[in-house]
Amino acid sequence: MTGNSGMEKLIPVVNKLQDAFTQLGVRLTLDLPQIAVVGGQSAGKSSVLENFVGRDFLPRGSGIVTRRPLILQLINSKHEYAEFLHNKQTYSDFDEVRKEIENETNRVTGSNKGISNLPINLKIYSPNVLNLTLIDLPGMTKVPIGDQPQDIEHQIRNMILQFIRKDTCLILAVTPANSDLANSDALQIAREVDPQGYRTIGVITKLDLMDEGTDARTILENKLLPLRRGYVGVVNRSQRDIDGRKDIKIALDAERRFFIGHPAYRHLADKLGTPHLQKVLNEQLTNHIRNTLPSLRGKLQKQYMVLEKELGDFKHFNPDDPSMKAKAMLQMLQQFAISFEKVLEGAKSDDVNTTELSGGAKINCIFHERFPFEIVKMEFDESELRKEIAIAIANIHGIRIGLFTPDLAFDAIVKKQIARLKEPCLKCVDLVSTELLNVIHSCSEQMSRFPRLREIVERVITNHVRKRDQECRDQLGEYINCQLSYMNTNHEDFIGFANAENQARKAVPVHNNLGNQVIRKGYMSLHNLSFMKGRSFWYVLSSDSLAWYKDETEKEIQYILPLNKLKLRDVETGFMNRKPTFAIFYPHGANVYKDYKQLELSCNSVDDMDSWKASFLRAGVYPEKLQNGEENEDESIFSQDDVDPQLKRQVEVIRNLVESYMSIVTKATRDLVPKMITCLIIKNTKNYIFEELLVNVYAHEDQVELLEESPEEVKKRTEKMAMFQACKAALDIIGDCNMKFNTTSTNTEEEIIYAKPMIAPNKPSIASKKTYRLSTPPPAFSRPAPPPPPGKLKKYKSEKNISNELQSGNTLQLIPKFYIVSIP
């Protein structure tokens, strides 16, 4: 038997690809071109496959017989035998093949009619077959039998969809002719994944069992339910023929006589029958492979490059070679140092991480967003600060009446404020150290193949970072002590006593010095309003108000809330809202918005909420103070509006002096702390990694113990190496196929164009039309030139010569080397 010989070698190419992955123990992740046989129980799938081979080799019986996918590779050969891939044994007795299929099925699924999607690979070599690869899938059923699970229908359906939903899979939909085609399970499931019918080939079985007076002519002529690839009708052996072991060759002759003798199928006899079906499948699969081979090669090349990059130099790594181990460890430590530097200092344009912030960017956010926020949180509420100043002045004067503003009150309040700066400074150190350790852990992932080496590297660097962390904390403590030890009231930016007193006399409001500038913009969700619950709005916080809009275009404003006398407090997250939430409200209980006492706002993360709260602090909205109910009478006196005017003026003077001096100290602290952390921790750690890490790693353990791979990594590397070798072998197979195919196609085209002489008539002959190929242009045929316009023939001598050539019939000289011809 012969198929299209020019492309016949493509089907063995796919078989080689399948074997290349299977023999190396690699699970095939690519979708190879193949044909899946789909149909209901007793639709005749097994009979069709046996007719292809000419042998009885498939299990038969009642219920579900095919319980595992059978990948059947038919290979044209001079000798006839079968070979399984799981045991590498060859069989010449096909009864033994049937028994092996049953035994292998029961080995995985048991004998209770259960199913499994683990395929059985079977190759059949025979001179009676065309090169073909088919997948025989379990027949679709509705009712479970025996110990089968109740969802057996869904299991079979999901298994079939797992194969046929791939675009590279052709669907052979087998339907018996004695059932309604509109209710065909095979066509129904095929249409789900292939609604246009591009990949579906219809097979109508049991045409000889149709009721008398009925036929499937309209179906076979592709008129009832059209498919792009059409239908093929076959006649299978009856159950009596199978039980009587009727020879398949005799059955095929009977099938041929049936189609020739039937009046409804006589005109289609050449396009019906098992031999024609086998030929059609061979051609369809060959063309399908040819069309999908370029994309398959592209996927293989992409996977090959990814594996090559992941393996790197370890493609040639020998774990028993000491020199290779030393080289590998040195390279990994160097690469670790380079990665650490890139993450901190920033990567080049081709190495930029676009999914998340890297370590250096996160540390930058800590320096310029989180650390200022922690400082702002340390600020006092204005009323609380004035109360403390008044108490300090009263305690300094004692029983005397103070005529002058005491500078000791300024010292006491400023020292208390400066001491409170120590906590945010130490917290900044802690945040940076934590992020630095995260960077070290992420950069050491490239050493995951050697867990002991990774553990030692992380431990050595972590100990160093902790030492530098403690030293930085000590230095910052000394810095705070220096600020506390001497108050530089001669600083050029300090307001001075005279200016502070003048401002106090003018009663300049000290709510904030921001003007009406915008402090922050962003999205937050509003939760406690029933008609806006959970909706996100665009908020604009300025120094005087909080406005929210529908979106960031700021065209549709929803509301503007003044910030005067507002307070902040945290809100516990509930079952319906797990986002970090805070609320703004009036402490005296007034409504904030319509009938609502507070507005509950939520953010996507805790850091985002802290940043918003810091912005509110800058705008003068302070957190709620916890009330302990134990204020004494002296403290309550200073909170009344009828306080002594002289004391009130002194409080304002000290308040102005404290604000001016603390702005100087805060500005210096915000500038100095990031510099100290960078110098004492970040830069020092980087230098340690580049200069001293290798020596300290060698000092801990022996090189051999450091480079011991974990069993998981050995298995992972082995699997990747197997996949790498399989991809390489597959690319070589496809490359060889392309070279052979190009050579074959070129020779075929030359034979078509040049082997036959040119035909002079205007229309091509039927023999020439048969030689046309879709992939190559047909030969050009000469046509008589149109007559020249009147008067032009005498004017141009060249046209006269051309006319003489045409009249003589010598047209071969006019044919150029290449043609573009349109064939209707």
Summarised one tens digit per residue, pLDDT across range 512-553 is: 555 568 888 888 888 776 656 667 889 999 888 899 898 888
- 526 and 486, same structural domain? no
Q: Which residues contact 192 (CB under 8 A, 6 or more apart)?
A: 161
Per-residue confidence at 802, pLDDT binned at 50, 70, 90? Answer: very low
Q: Which residues, in sequence order, are bridge partners of residue 122? A: 72, 84
- 135 and 55, same structural domain? yes
Rounded mean pLDDT, 22-33? 57
H/E element holding 73? strand 70-76
Q: Quick check: 231 pLDDT over 70?
A: yes
pLDDT (tens digit, 9 = 90+) per residue, 606-619? Answer: 778 878 887 888 78
pLDDT value of position 630: 43
Q: The domain spanning residue 381 has which CATH number?
A: 1.20.120.1240
pLDDT value of position 201: 92
- 379 and 243, same structural domain? no
- 522 and 497, same structural domain? no
Per-residue confidence at 204, pLDDT binned at 50, 70, 90? Answer: very high
- 374 and 454, same structural domain? yes
Of the residues 585, 619, 653, the one at which a domain ends: 619
How far is 63 from 141, CA to CA, in rounded Å?
9
- Among the listed ranges 36-45, 69-78, 703-712, which one has the minimum average pLDDT value? 703-712
Q: How long is the chain?
A: 824
User: Has residue 564 been placed in a domain?
Assistant: yes
The residue among 245, 236, 241 whose CA lies nearest residue 274 is 236
pLDDT value of position 121: 86
pLDDT (tens digit, 9 = 90+) per residue, 419-438? Answer: 989 999 999 999 999 999 99
Q: The domain spanning residue 173 has which CATH number?
A: 3.40.50.300
- Among the listed ranges 346-355, 537-546, 682-691, which one has the minimum average pLDDT value? 346-355
pLDDT value of position 680: 94
- 606 and 661, same structural domain? no
The better pLDDT of the pair 314, 163 is held by 163
Of the residues 704, 721, 742, the one at which a domain ends: 704
User: Has residue 189 been placed in a domain?
Assistant: yes
Find out whether 44 and 174 touch, Cβ atoms under 8 Å: yes
- 96 and 57, same structural domain? yes
Mean pLDDT of the chain: 77
- 94 and 50, same structural domain? yes
- 398 and 490, same structural domain? yes
Task: Please count the CA atoms within 13 angstroms of the CA of 311 that sit on its side-chain side.
Answer: 21
Q: Quick check: 774 pLDDT over 50?
A: no
Q: Quick check: 30 pLDDT over 70?
A: no
The better pLDDT of the pair 672, 362 is held by 672
Per-residue confidence at 577, pLDDT binned at 50, 70, 90? Answer: low
Number of domains in the chain: 4
What percentage of the chain reaches a pLDDT higher than 70?
A: 73
pLDDT (tens digit, 9 = 90+) per residue, 706-747? Answer: 777 777 777 777 777 777 777 777 777 777 665 555 544 434
Domain assignment of residue 560, given as a range: 518-619
pLDDT (tens digit, 9 = 90+) per residue, 82-112? Answer: 998 888 888 989 889 989 988 888 888 777 6
User: Has residue 10 been placed in a domain?
Assistant: no
- 813 and 762, same structural domain? yes
The residue among 428, 442, 263, 266 whose CA lies nearest residue 339 is 442
User: Has residue 326 been placed in a domain?
Assistant: no
pLDDT value of position 730: 72
Q: Quick check: 412 pLDDT over 50?
A: yes
Q: The domain spanning residue 594 has which CATH number?
A: 2.30.29.30
Q: Where is mean pLDDT largest: 41-50, 367-376, 460-469, 544-553?
A: 460-469
How far is 51 from 65, CA to CA, in rounded Å?
18
Q: Quick check: 122 pLDDT over 80?
A: yes
pLDDT value of position 684: 93
Per-residue confidence at 31, pLDDT binned at 50, 70, 90? Answer: low
pLDDT value of position 797: 43
How far is 40 from 65, CA to CA, in rounded Å?
12
Tokens of 680: 């004492």
pLDDT value of position 819: 44
H/E element holding 233? strand 231-233
Model pTM score: 0.52
pLDDT value of position 232: 92
User: Has residue 5 been placed in a domain?
Assistant: no
User: Has residue 717 been placed in a domain?
Assistant: no
- 696 and 570, same structural domain? no
pLDDT value of position 649: 76
Cβ burial of 757 (10 Å; 0-12, 13-18, 19+) is: exposed
How far is 72 from 36, CA to CA, in rounded Å?
10
How far is 42 from 44, CA to CA, in rounded Å?
5
Residue with tokens 């917290």: 427
Find out whether 329 and 703 touch, Cβ atoms under 8 Å: yes
The residue among 131, 109, 115 whose CA lies nearest residue 6 is 131
pLDDT value of position 379: 62
pLDDT value of position 351: 62
- 529 and 667, same structural domain? no
User: Has residue 709 been placed in a domain?
Assistant: no
User: Has residue 316 been placed in a domain?
Assistant: no
